[in-house]
Structure 1
Amino acid sequence: MTINRRQALSQIIGISTAAAGATLMGTSAFAATDEQGNYKLELGEKLKYVPLDPMATAKLAYETGGGCMHQVFHALVTMLANSESADAAKFATIPTALAGYGWAGIVGQGTVCGNNNATGMLVNILDDINGQNAAVIGASFRYYEVTELPFSSDEFVAGIGSTAEKTALVGKSSVANSILCHSSISNWSKASGFTFSQKGERCKRLSASVAYHVVELLNRAYKGEDISALPESKPSSEAQACQSCHGVESTMGSAASVKSDMECTTCHTGHFN
């Protein structure tokens, strides 16, 4: 059985209001319910994940507007709101429009890609998935860095509801070598010969590709697979080499302390540049 967002919200409000009316306390017994009985997600609250259909999620992301971060966050939250999760009704109350700021690396600034931003935002509100939440984020980010994206197989293009004709608007898939929008777009532009202003179809498919892979990782974690053991969840050998000097608790000589698993050599080519 599935419920839409309006029905889910009505259920939450109804349940919460009943609870509020059953007590003389100024606020509801539900920690995340206000005095009017309206539910809202509170800082630190975690919601239950259940396995989703990767292709259906990818298709929804592709069809959703508002930029890459909104596409991915809205798609996963909406799928969970219509799932068998015990917290489906709570997912339905999340205002996914808040993720609209993440387009083109945060309002066009070219920083962290909205697809990665959305992944962190989503996984951060999920209840513990066999201790693999952080590993899912890491694996997703590392995959984004080293994989030729967006997906372009005939099966994937058909699955998200796109066409072979629109593939011409993508040109070529490319490797970002970074979690940053700037690097991702630049490498795609170089590979395809297109400009930033022509990125529409490419970025729609990129969001669909990321949504698909994130759901795959979450489903595998849910089934008990150790995502942290996957090669793709670990920093590259180059990044790990940098960490040997630029540590979190100790450093080599005058080296700065750094906390990062992202690719280093994309921007830092050595100590003599």
Structure 2
Amino acid sequence: MKMNRRDALHRIVGISSVAAGATLMGGTAMAAGMDTGYKLQPKEKLKYVPLDPMATAKLAYESGNGCMFQVFHSVVTMLARSESVDAEKFASIPTALAAYGFAGVVGQGTICGNLNAIGMLVNILDDINGQNSAVVDATFRYYEHENLPWSNKEFVDGIGSTEEKTALVGSSSVANSILCHSSISNWSRESGLPFVKKGERCYRLSATMAYVLVELLNKAYEGQKITELDGTTVSELTKQCQMCHNASEPMTPAASVKTNMECKTCHTGHFF
């Protein structure tokens, strides 16, 4: 068969393109890049199965690219590797989208990326014994009230960090808020370190929150009542505020409020 110059050129370009594409799409890159036709839809829920909290925390610590990405990517990746019936669906989720949440949403100091990730993740999980909302509440309250990040030896060894790096953390601190702004400010005051030195501290904080989240999800899966665990619900003071400043029938002239955040961090007056 005769082939003119134009046909030959097209044939060469076609073969070269296929070869280059095969090289770029080889192995796992090919699997990750292929369009399987599946896309997670709004209100669609995926099945959770228990994960190893320390392995998830280690992956979060190693992932980098900001706190929101670290938590969201680590848990989604572990679920993609799990025995969940939706493992392949978890694998299709583009976790890189979560990278916007660093430093309280692109550096704005609003909601901490760790908590932003937890909300996004739990929202796509299928009902876990009716406790999904309780898990979100529990992780948010834990972040507000506990001395973080963890720096005990077992945890440091488990995530693959070192005692030498603990010095870079400075001091653990209590955020008293779900805001990155408050969390970092309180840490800075306790440690005497500026925002730009937060690296190791925030890497460990993401690892800590990934561990806490998985542990709570596992307990919910096992049927434990999350609301009966210590420190998992709003404080007594916040409950008092919600009696008047509630979402449905506020006591006149109180403003109607929908929040579970700690009130006294930002507000004064009335009873405190």
Q: Same fold (TM over 0.5)?
A: yes
Q: Distance in 1 between matches of 2:188 and 2:79?
A: 34
Q: Tell whether the 8 Å contact from 1:171 to 1:192 is kept in structure 2 after alignment.
A: yes
Q: Distance in 2 between matches of 1:237 and 1:272?
A: 12
Give the corresponding residue for 1:200. 199
Q: Distance in 2 between matches of 1:12 and 1:128?
A: 28
Identity of aligned residues (%): 67
Give the corresponding residue for 1:225. 224
Give the corresponding residue for 1:131. 130
**1:89-108 map, 5 Å:** 89-108=88-107
Q: Distance in 1 between matches of 2:222 and 2:169?
A: 35
Question: What SS does structure 1 have at the residue aligned with 2:245?
Answer: coil
Q: Distance in 1 between matches of 2:97 and 2:200?
A: 23
Deviation at 1:252, TM superposition (A): 1.8
Q: Tell whether the 8 Å contact from 1:173 to 1:188 is kept in structure 2 after alignment.
A: yes
Cα distance, 1:8–1:44 mapped onto 2, change above 3 Å:
farther
Deviation at 1:152, TM superposition (A): 0.7
Q: Distance in 2 between matches of 1:101 and 1:50?
A: 27
Cα distance, 1:87–1:7 mapped onto 2, change above 3 Å:
farther
Cα distance, 1:184–1:10 mapped onto 2, change above 3 Å:
closer
**1:166-177 map, 5 Å:** 166-177=165-176
**1:47-196 map, 5 Å:** 47-196=46-195
Question: What SS does structure 1 have at the residue aligned with 2:259?
Answer: coil
Cα distance, 1:10–1:199 mapped onto 2, change above 3 Å:
closer
Cα distance, 1:76–1:180 mapped onto 2, change above 3 Å:
same
TM-score by length of 1: 0.86
2:207 counterpart letter in structure 1 = A
Give the corresponding residue for 1:18. none
**1:246-261 map, 5 Å:** 246-261=245-260
Cα distance, 1:251–1:212 mapped onto 2, change above 3 Å:
same
- The runs of at least 4 aligned residues of structure 1 exceeding 3 Å deviation read 4-12
Larger Rg, first or second structure (1 or 2): 2
Q: Distance in 1 between matches of 2:30 and 2:222?
A: 30
Cα distance, 1:171–1:41 mapped onto 2, change above 3 Å:
same
Alpha-carbon displacement from aligned partner over 1:14-51 (angstroms, at most 9, x marks no partner): xxxxxxxxxxxxxxxxxxxxxxxx11100011000000
Structure 2 unmatched runs, 5+: 1-26
- Check if 1:242 corresponds to 2:248: no
1:179 counterpart letter in structure 2 = I
Q: Tell whether the 8 Å contact from 1:136 to 1:214 is kept in structure 2 after alignment.
A: yes
Question: What SS does structure 2 have at the residue aligned with 1:268?
Answer: coil
Cα distance, 1:210–1:254 mapped onto 2, change above 3 Å:
same
The structure that is helix-richer by fraction is 2
Structure 1 unmatched runs, 5+: 14-37
Q: Distance in 1 between matches of 2:50 and 2:212?
A: 13
Q: Distance in 1 between matches of 2:34 and 2:225?
A: 36
Q: Distance in 2 between matches of 1:272 and 1:10?
A: 57
Give the corresponding residue for 1:267. 266
Give the corresponding residue for 1:20. none
Q: Distance in 1 between matches of 2:121 and 2:28?
A: 17
Q: Distance in 2 between matches of 1:120 and 1:272?
A: 31
2:81 counterpart letter in structure 1 = N
